[in-house]
Amino acid sequence: MDALASQYDTLLEKQQQLNNVIPGRIDSIRELLLETKKSFENDPSNWKESLVMLEQRNKKNNFQKELKEYSSSVSKYGKAIEKTFKQDPTIASDPTAFSGKEHILDRAVALHFIRQGQFELSESFIREAGMTDDEEIGTSASELKEKFKEMYDIMKELETGNTDTAIKWATEHHEGLQKRGSSLEFQLHRLRFIKLLSTNKMEALYYGRTHFDEFADRHMSEIRRLMTSLIYHNKLSNSPYADFMSAQDWVGIKDTFQRDFCALLNMSADSPLYISVLVGTMALPTIIKVVTIMNTKRTEWSQQDELPVEIPLPDDLRFHSVFACPVSKEQATAQNPPMMMPCGHVICKESLTRLSKSSRNSTRFKCPYCPSESSAAQATPVYF
């Protein structure tokens, strides 16, 4: 990868040199042509001399050398790519994966543009893809754009250290944030308090007394530290409370705000398209290796919608159940979810149904792992 990066830097440098040279020389060529045209119009009989002079003067405007160097860099970069990435990623692709599902992919792309704040681009994409506003997006695209525009406007204010709009939003959505167990509202008041602390001790004291009471149950230890820090208001950076001055708090509050904002819209913090590409990129080397081995052995995958090997992923990229039924040994799916019986033991829904049907008692059956008896209706879905 180091060699590839080096070739890329060289290519970038040559491209910049070419960009610096071409516009000026094209302008010079244009000026020469206009001068030659004017000379020809003034004295048409001198046209041969005018063309000879044009050719001689234009030689210095030649940029073939720079173009040749740039073309050479492009060629070397292409060879570096081929050398670094020897495997063909297309062998692991499935051309029919989105067959008949193009509208789903279009919706994912449109939502991604909206979520990234690229509103004009999303409008163009929705129009050119022939998507309907509500039907394809799942909600009004214009309404969604307004929501995310509000989010990005608030985040820009947080970047400047202004918490007023964010606090107003958090107050308006207090109930929803409380249900999520979010500490966003308190964290915003905390940052506002710390900002006041460095400029006006009494105003900070009044602000803390006004706003911290409602958060005492969950954040009392932090509130104690904040109120005690008033003693060091004029030398906070050299006190036991120097961590209050950390710039990372402002970075963290933006992430927390974005996560909670999206959660109240019933959306994940990151775009599903981004997550899909990220996971796919991480899984691609393993999949290519497996496909290569299978092609060599002339074997095929035996399961649809299932990879032949496990792909290691970090916890924050795991969204599906990893439960295996202890009775059937099958992995749980959306159609066959894990179900917990009243005794606390968990089996898959299909196993539960089979046990219920095979029981002598038409309504109740015995748990396969303890003496308890229950009915299928008493089982509860389990989410991991």
Give the CA distances from residue 266 to residues 166, 260, 270, in Å, rounded to whole numbers and listed in that order. 19, 10, 12
Q: What is the CA radius of gyration of the chain?
A: 33
pLDDT score at 82: 80
Tens digits of per-residue pLDDT, 358-367? 877 667 888 8
Which tops the pLDDT comparison, 154 or 43?
Answer: 154
Q: What is the pTM assigned to this prediction?
A: 0.64
Give pLDDT tens digits for 135-177: 555 557 788 899 999 999 999 999 999 999 999 999 999 999 9
Read off the pLDDT band of 321 (50, 70, 90). Answer: low
Indicate the DSSP class of residue 332: P
The mean per-residue pLDDT over the stretch 308-322 comes to 78
Hey, what are 382's tokens?
């389990």
Amino acid 197 reads L
With bands split at pLDDT 50, 70 and 90, how would you rate the model's confidence at 16?
confident
Residue spans of beta strands (DSSP E) within the chain: 338-340, 346-348, 365-366, 373-374, 380-381
User: Where do we find the tokens 């309907």?
Assistant: 132
The residue-averaged pLDDT of 32-56 equals: 74
Cα–Cα distance measured from residue 90 to residue 327, given in angstroms and rounded to the nearest whole number: 39
Give me the pLDDT at residue 305, please. 62
Domain positions in the chain are 2-76, 108-120+141-264, 320-384
What average pLDDT does the segment 4-29 reach?
Answer: 83
Residue 222 has pLDDT above 70, yes or no: yes
Enter the tokens of residue 227. Answer: 């109120």
According to the model, what pLDDT value does residue 61 have? 66
pLDDT reported for residue 364: 85
Q: To 10 degrees, the CA torsion angle through 207, 208, 212, 213? A: -90
Query: Concatenated DSSP letters for 53-120?
Result: HHHHHHGGG--HHHHHHHHHHHHHHHHHHHHH--S-GGGG--TTTTTT-HHHHHHHHHHHHHHTT-HH
Is pLDDT of 304 > 70? Answer: no
Q: Which has more pLDDT, 86 or 148?
A: 148
Q: Choose which CATH entry (3.30.40.10, 3.40.50.2300, 3.30.910.10, 3.30.1360.30) describes domain 320-384.
A: 3.30.40.10
